[in-house]
Amino acid sequence: MLRFVKNAKKKREFREIGDLTVHEIEHAEETLIKIVQAKFFPSEDLFPNMNVIADEEGIKRVKTRITVSGPIVRELRLGEIVLIGDDIKKRINWPLAKVFRLIPGKDGKIRTVELKARTGIMLRPIQRAYPLEVQSTETPDDPLNDCTFTNPISSISSDILSDPNDSSSVLPRVFRHGRVIQAPEKLDLFDKALYVFEID
């Protein structure tokens, strides 16, 4: 519209044609803003409790404090399932792990986390542990979320273990997963009767 007004004032050979330039678009925006502000806000009394200033182009602006807004980072919790970041692999191929321990730095902030993954326990910086987008509000009561070790022998009845005359009152050895180790039966030839056959 502004180009049309300018071209109407010029002779035919001096008129501008073609696409609008960046300067013309910016000038049109500034002019439109000034027209709207002059119509709806003719005086500064219509700006209650606002710090209004006019910039170099004469456009009224509200003075505000600029705040840098970043992504909301949620703190990791013990037992939380996270993705272990890797620059080489795609995100869909990142392995899952469970937060086993939070290690604070000298300033008291958590800098390193100990993660328990399928391949073992590893230390990673907290920037490499990405929590899943959906997390439960409560930690469910299941053995996987319990970081403490429970003795599987406690499930054995006390009558078996409390017999003082029984030589098997010693606590049985167990595997790390809780299964009782059964000693193999050895072939004992000394307690067996030995038969000697004589040939005439």
Question: What is residue 173's predicted lDDT score, i.e. its pLDDT?
Answer: 80
Residue 192 has pLDDT above 80, yes or no: no
Q: Which residue has the higher pLDDT, 93 or 42?
A: 93
Question: What is residue 82's predicted lDDT score, i.e. its pLDDT?
Answer: 92
Question: What is residue 134's predicted lDDT score, i.e. its pLDDT?
Answer: 75
> Of 146, 139, 83, whose CA–CA distance to 115 is shortest?
83
Tens digit of pLDDT for each residue in 159-188? 444 555 555 556 778 777 778 888 888 776
Residue 142 has pLDDT above 50, yes or no: no
Q: Which residue has the higher pLDDT, 125 or 28?
A: 125
Mean pLDDT within 19-29: 78
Question: What is residue 146's predicted lDDT score, i.e. its pLDDT?
Answer: 47
SS3 32: helix
Q: How far apart are CA 46 and CA 41, in angstroms?
A: 6
Mean pLDDT within 93-122: 90
> Of 64, 43, 47, 71, whose CA–CA distance to 133 is shortest?
71
Statement: the pTM of the whole predicted model exceeds 0.75: no
Residue 175 CB contacts under 8 Å (≥ 6 apart), including other chains: 181
